[in-house]
């Protein structure tokens, strides 16, 4: 670390004189360990890398997440302890606006990030001095949102002369499960959120093979827009839930076979998804039902006239999403076996991202896992949706292996990327193999009264 000090003294002086006094605002630099029994107190010495520190004490990484509409921060150790975390969700405000408006998201991140970092470090009982590196989401996400976290992360690195670890948001989702369980590479991972739908083989910390993705909407996006059109945000239970969670809630009272949904992309023997079509069919069902029940102001999502068949629409839509997800996962598993990508003794499917909070989705996927001998691993709900812990953990993984650890003198080399590819692309290869899938009975998803005829996966 010392070798950087001389070179940057001038830069730091200039920088600090022009900075808004953010560290006074966060209080991070002034936090002292309050508990004399804290394991943190023994770690005052400064180490510039994990190899230098190894064995002396656990490394401590601060993670910052602002890629979309959650402001998150967490302090996680190299021995997998979450020392402190804090999260501010913008969900309620975006529900009131009918969707995420980027300048509003940025404003809310700016309003909350100082407090969130301070809360995380306070709970962890650490000061900026105690932290070994700062991991921050730099891609992909809303540019205006990413910029807020990256500015704070970089500013703190400069102030504390700490390394900065740039994080890919989806890679962080993919690795979170490794903090909770001993999961070795390579394993299969499905990431289903409001912005993404990816099936990949996780081969290493920053080494992924992309088997499939959504060619249009992400499943969470389709859930959110369908929920909005159903006006679930105007109902008691739906008023504070994300669109996906609201649909799951109302689907519990509905019949998943009441409304017909076609199988998207049934002609394509690949691992890709399309959720825009399902969203459109849901809209058609809603419009028809509204007309049938004399709801003429059907174009108004603010109205409170609800169709009586609402639970059935939710259940049928949710079921169609699950069936579509399962079919492509099935093909991914067959491909992985053909190419020997996952050893037989490590057949693990990690499912993460906000949509992985959905129990019906998980139940459907578990049926496919059982059929192909995979263990399904899903982080707890608070770690499936966006959070600071997953970013800090990805920082831990990178820091331990010295991957993407950027010295505070080289922060200019790091920038945000609103869009960013994920892994080595195998989509064409899979499509060309024309892999047929056998039928899997999905009838366990239903209660006994349902007709299982629509619940088979057919290639
Ligand atoms: O991972 P996440 O917190 O943020 C993104 O990176 O997108 O995921 C948010 C998405 C939203 O679209 C939300 O509707 C969806 O996850 N979601 C759900 C459930 N809970 C959250 N979708 C289906 N069922 C749920 N229970
Ligand atoms: Zn996410």
pLDDT digits (tens, 9 = 90+) for 445-457: 875 444 444 455 5
* Lookup: tokens for 430: 């899979």
> Looking at ligand 1, which atom is closest to the CA of residue 224?
14
Report percent pLDDT > 70 for the chain. Answer: 83
Is there a single domain that holds both residue 441 and residue 310? yes
Residues 82-135 pLDDT 10s: 999 999 999 888 888 888 899 999 999 999 999 999 999 999 999 999 999 999
Angle in degrees, CA 306, 310, 316, rounded to 5: 155
User: Are the beta carbons of 316 and 281 closer than 8 angstroms?
Assistant: no
Q: Which of 67, 191, 193 to mutate to test the pocket of ligand 1 (most atoms within 8 A of CB)?
A: 193
Is there a single domain that holds both residue 84 and residue 135? yes
Q: Which of 207, 222, 206, 172 has the alpha carbon at shortest distance from 353?
A: 172
- Residue 181 counted as domain residue: no
Q: Output the residue whose Cα is nearest ligand 1's atom 16.
A: 354
- Residue 98 counted as domain residue: yes
Question: What's the rounded Cα separation, in Å, for the pair 75 and 183?
Answer: 21
pLDDT at 88: 97
How many domains would you assign to the chain?
2
Q: Where are the alpha helices (DSSP H) in 56-202?
A: 91-97, 102-124, 143-160, 169-175, 177-180
- Residue 300 counted as domain residue: yes
> Looking at ligand 1, which atom is closest to the CA of residue 67?
6
Distance 224 CA to ligand 1 centre (A): 8
Q: Output the residue whose Cα is nearest ligand 1's atom 3.
A: 385
- Residue 419 counted as domain residue: no
Instruction: Please compute Rg for the chain using Cα positions.
Output: 23
Q: Is the CB of 238 under 6 A from ligand 1?
A: no
Q: Which of 173, 232, 249, 355 to mutate to test the pocket of ligand 1 (most atoms within 8 A of CB)?
A: 355
Q: Which of 244, 324, 359 to mutate to test the pocket of ligand 1 (most atoms within 8 A of CB)?
A: 244
pLDDT at 296: 64
Is there a single domain that holds both residue 316 and residue 444? yes
Q: Is the CB of 193 under 6 A from ligand 1?
A: yes
Question: What's the rounded Cα separation, in Å, for the pair 328 and 274?
Answer: 11
* Lookup: tokens for 415: 């920038």
pLDDT at 98: 82
Distance 143 CA to ligand 2 centre (A): 15
Question: What's the rounded Cα separation, in Å, for the pair 301 and 313?
Answer: 16
Q: Output the residue whose Cα is nearest ligand 1's atom 23.
A: 244
pLDDT at 26: 47
Q: Is the CB of 219 under 6 A from ligand 1?
A: no
Strand duo 133-139 + 82-89: pairing: unpaired
Nearest bound ligand to the CA of residue 357: 1
Parent domain of 49: 2-176+386-413
CATH number of the domain where residue 405 is located: 3.30.420.40
pLDDT tens per residue, the chain (459 residues)? 333 333 333 333 333 333 333 444 444 443 333 333 333 434 445 556 666 676 678 999 999 999 999 999 999 999 999 999 999 999 888 888 888 899 999 999 999 999 999 999 999 999 999 999 999 999 999 999 999 999 999 999 999 999 999 999 999 999 999 999 999 999 999 999 999 999 999 999 999 999 999 999 999 999 999 999 998 988 888 888 999 999 999 999 999 999 999 989 988 999 999 999 999 999 999 999 988 888 765 455 555 667 889 999 999 999 999 999 999 999 999 999 999 999 999 999 999 999 999 999 999 999 999 999 999 999 999 999 999 999 999 999 999 999 999 999 999 999 999 999 999 999 999 999 999 999 998 888 875 444 444 455 544
Is there a single domain that holds both residue 303 and residue 162? no
Is there a single domain that holds both residue 217 and residue 339? yes
Is there a single domain that holds both residue 192 and residue 170? no
Strand duo 133-139 + 164-168: pairing: parallel
- Residue 421 counted as domain residue: no
pLDDT at 93: 87
pLDDT at 10: 31
pLDDT at 300: 52
Is there a single domain that holds both residue 292 and residue 345? yes
Instruction: Look up the pTM and report it.
Output: 0.87
Q: Is the CB of 243 under 6 A from ligand 1?
A: yes
Is there a single domain that holds both residue 167 and residue 212? no
- Residue 326 counted as domain residue: yes
**Which residues, at least 6 apart from 192, have a Cβ–Cβ distance to it below 8 Å?**
218, 219, 220, 325, 351, 352, 353, 354, 355, 356, 361
Q: Is the CB of 68 under 6 A from ligand 1?
A: yes
Question: What's the rounded Cα separation, in Å, for the pair 287 and 282?
Answer: 9
Nearest bound ligand to the CA of residue 379: 1
Strand duo 60-65 + 133-139: pairing: parallel
Is there a single domain that holds both residue 137 and residue 212? no
Q: Which of 89, 171, 194 to mutate to test the pocket of ligand 1 (most atoms within 8 A of CB)?
A: 194
């Amino acid at each position: 670390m010392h070798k950087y000090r001389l070179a940057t003294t001038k830069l730091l002086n200039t920088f600090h004189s022009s900075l808004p006094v953010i560290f006074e605002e966060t209080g991070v630099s002034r936090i002292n360990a309050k508990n004399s029994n804290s394991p943190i107190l023994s770690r005052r010495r400064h180490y510039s890398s994990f190899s230098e520190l190894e064995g002396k004490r656990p490394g401590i990484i601060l993670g910052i997440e602002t890629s979309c509409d959650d402001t998150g921060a967490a302090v996680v150790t190299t021995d997998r302890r979450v020392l402190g975390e804090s999260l501010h969700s913008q969900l309620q405000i975006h529900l009131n606006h009918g969707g995420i408006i980027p300048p509003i998201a940025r404003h809310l991140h700016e309003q909350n990030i100082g407090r969130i970092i301070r809360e995380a470090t306070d709970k962890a009982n650490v000061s900026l001095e105690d932290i070994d590196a700062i991991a921050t989401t730099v891609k992909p996400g809303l540019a205006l949102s990413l910029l807020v976290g990256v500015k704070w992360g970089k500013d703190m690195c400069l102030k504390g002369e700490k390394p900065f670890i740039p994080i890919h948001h989806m890679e962080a989702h993919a690795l979170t499960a490794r903090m909770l369980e001993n999961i070795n590479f390579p394993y299969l991972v499905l990431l289903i959120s409001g912005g993404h739908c990816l099936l990949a083989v996780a081969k290493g910390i920053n080494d992924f093979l992309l088997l499939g993705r959504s060619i249009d909407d992400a499943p969470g996006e389709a859930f959110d827009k369908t929920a909005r059109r159903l006006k679930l945000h105007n109902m008691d239970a739906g008023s504070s839930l994300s669109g996906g969670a609201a649909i799951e809630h109302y689907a519990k009272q509905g019949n998943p076979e009441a409304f017909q949904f076609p199988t998207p992309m049934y002609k394509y023997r690949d691992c890709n998804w399309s959720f825009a079509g399902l969203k459109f069919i849901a809209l058609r069902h809603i419009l028809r039902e509204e007309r049938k029940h004399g709801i003429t102001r059907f174009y108004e999502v603010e109205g409170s006239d609800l169709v009586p068949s609402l639970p059935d629409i939710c259940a049928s839509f949710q079921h169609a999403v699950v069936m579509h997800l399962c079919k492509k996962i099935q093909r991914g598993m067959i491909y992985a076996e053909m190419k020997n990508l996952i050893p037989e003794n490590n057949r693990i499917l990690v499912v993460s991202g906000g949509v992985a909070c959905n129990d019906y989705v998980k139940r459907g996927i578990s049926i496919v896992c059982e059929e192909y001998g995979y263990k399904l691993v899903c982080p707890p709900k608070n770690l499936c949706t966006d959070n600071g812990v997953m970013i800090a953990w990805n920082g831990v993984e990178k820091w331990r292996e010295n991957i993407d650890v950027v010295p505070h003198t080289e922060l200019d080399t790091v920038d945000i990327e609103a869009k960013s590819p994920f892994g080595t692309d195998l989509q064409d290869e899979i499509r060309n193999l024309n892999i047929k899938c056998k039928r899997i009975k999905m009838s366990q998803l239903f209660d006994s009264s349902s007709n299982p005829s629509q619940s088979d996966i057919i290639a």
